[in-house]
Structure 1
Amino acid sequence: MKDWIDSMDRAVLSMGMLRVFGGSVELIAAFTILYLNDIKKALAVNSVLATVGPIILISTMAIGIIGVASKLDPIRLVLVVCGVFLILLAVFK
């Protein structure tokens, strides 16, 4: 297992670990909401969770773009950045 992790691309490993962290936060929040069993407290937990998701998304995208920046020609890199911008625009609007 250690050899498999050592052979992975660092950017891919970082992106995967961020997603594992984000999923863990989502699960913990879901169980917390169920445990609290109060609508006001559930909304508070959900509002905190609403800030974590976009932060994970932006961080993962940034790591991915940095990882492929050296492998793409400038035109394709601009297209990737525009695509990420459109995704973020759709998420936040």
Structure 2
Amino acid sequence: MKSWFYTIEMTLLIMVGLRFVSGMIELTVAGLILKFNSVEKAIALNAMLAIIGPTILVTSIAIGLVGMKDQLSISKIVFIASGVILILIGIRK
């Protein structure tokens, strides 16, 4: 009998792992904010999350694109990359 784990693509597992780590970081920071009970420290911790979130997003998308390289034409990859860049520009201050 084959396990379901072996039917999942490695690229997908890496992307899921990144999102899991990102979620755990978010939950840890939420706990720290409650523990410190300080608006100043909450702002500092949120600022760190503002760096981590987009980094995880771009890394996850890049890994996904590498995993799909055989299925995508170069023009589609350019359009997707442009979309990611526009998202990052849109969320800037």
**Structure 1 length as normaliser, TM-score?**
0.85
Q: Distance in 2 between matches of 1:69 and 1:56?
A: 20
Q: Distance in 2 between matches of 1:78 and 1:38?
A: 44
Q: Distance in 2 between matches of 1:78 and 1:48?
A: 29
Instruction: Identify the residue that residue 35 of structure 1 maps to in structure 2.
Output: 35
How much is the aligned-residue C-alpha RMSD, in angstroms? Answer: 1.7
Counting matched residue pairs gives 92
Alignment gaps of 5+ in structure 1: none
Between structures 1 and 2, the one with greater helix share: 1
**2:67 corresponds to which letter in structure 1?**
G
**Structure 2 length as normaliser, TM-score?**
0.85
Q: Distance in 2 between matches of 1:90 and 1:22?
A: 21
Alpha-carbon shift at residue 35 of structure 1 (Å): 1.0
Instruction: Identify the residue that residue 65 of structure 2 maps to in structure 1.
Output: 65
Alignment gaps of 5+ in structure 2: none
Q: Distance in 1 between matches of 2:73 and 2:49?
A: 37
Alpha-carbon shift at residue 27 of structure 1 (Å): 0.7
Instruction: Identify the residue that residue 19 of structure 2 maps to in structure 1.
Output: 19
What are the superposed Cα offsets for residues 5-42 of structure 1, whole Å, 9 maximum, x if unpaired?
A: 22111111111111111011001101110111112222
1:65 touches 1:81 (CA, 8 Å); kept in 2?
no
Q: Distance in 1 between matches of 2:92 and 2:70?
A: 29
Alpha-carbon shift at residue 68 of structure 1 (Å): 1.3
